[in-house]
Amino acid sequence: MSTSVQSTTQTTSSAANQLPEVVYSPESPLAKPGKLVGDVFGDLWRYRELIWILFLRDLKAQFRQSYLGYVWLFLPPVMTTAIWLFLNAQQVIAVEETQIPYPVFVIIGTVVWQTFVKLLQSPVVSFAQGKPVFMKLNVPAEAFIAAGTARAVFEFLIYSIVLVPVFLTYQIMPPWTIVFIPLIVVTLMVTGTALGLMLVPIGSLYTDVQQAIPVIMGFLMYLSPVVFPPPRSGIASVVIAWNPMTPILMGTRDILTSGDTQHLMPMAAILVAASIICVLSTVAIRIVMPHLVARMGM
């Protein structure tokens, strides 16, 4: 009997030792910024299986009751391209001549822009969807945000499939610069996510942010070289020149078609700046989380 009790006690003690240790302290997290950053990204690694499960769940639920399923992912860039081709053909709008066929110009710009918008929306939407879980359980909110970002990147890969028949139709053979595609994907992902993370604190308290993003981005689309080349003069040319999406949009087209690499350095600079913003915003969310939970629980 004593041996059995001792064995049970040892098993319980061993299980207790394997549980994560949580230490509460009145000391500000900013007192040890290095530890704070390590904790944030350490949690992302520890909860990687949960992130994968959330990613698969959302992916399956997105079109669970849809007959066409993932076909809906192809329709937005295709329909946007068709509309602008029609307007240009009917001379409703006057678009300057582009170095590549106009349909190719528009479809590449549309795919990149719509992915950027989804990446921008994803942190706010994912945070709101995960709110009922992380407010009750010891689960980091960053896991839900990471799953949403992964879903947006996956949809970008689906979007990109429409480029294949377009390139074949216009007999465009991608040059050697296609090896820089990973740089484009990472820059696009980090830039969109960084800006989205900055909106999470206020977006978690006010649903107006979720409603405003599509409206504002619909306007900003026309201040970016998505469906027309950058103007050479005027106020719009200055605004578009300083738009951080301009090097990404133009660089993607050049890398996939002409092989021009003039936008690679600006993209690398944007990636560095966006990475810093991404880290700072993630840490800021971790710091203000107790206050957000208190406000959301009211």
Confidence class for position 195, pLDDT limits 50, 70, 90: very high
DSSP state of 256: I
In a domain, 284, yes or no: yes
Q: Which residues contact 58 (CB under 8 A, 6 or more apart)?
A: 147, 148, 151
pLDDT over 60 (residue 30): no
pTM: 0.81
Cα 138 to Cα 12: distance, rounded to the nearest angstrom: 22
In a domain, 23, yes or no: no
In a domain, 20, yes or no: no
In a domain, 152, yes or no: yes
Cα 285 to Cα 160: distance, rounded to the nearest angstrom: 32
CA R_g for the chain? 23
Question: What confidence tens digit (pLDDT) does each residue in 59-112 have?
Answer: 777 666 666 566 667 677 777 777 777 777 766 666 777 888 888 898 899 999
Per-residue confidence (pLDDT) for residue 1, from 0 to 100: 46
**Domain total in the chain:** 1
Tell how far CA 175 is from the center of its chain.
27
Amino acid (one-letter) located at 130: G
Place of tokens 């040890």: 32
Domain that holds residue 232: 33-296
In a domain, 7, yes or no: no
In a domain, 2, yes or no: no
In a domain, 193, yes or no: yes
Count how many residues are written for the chain: 298
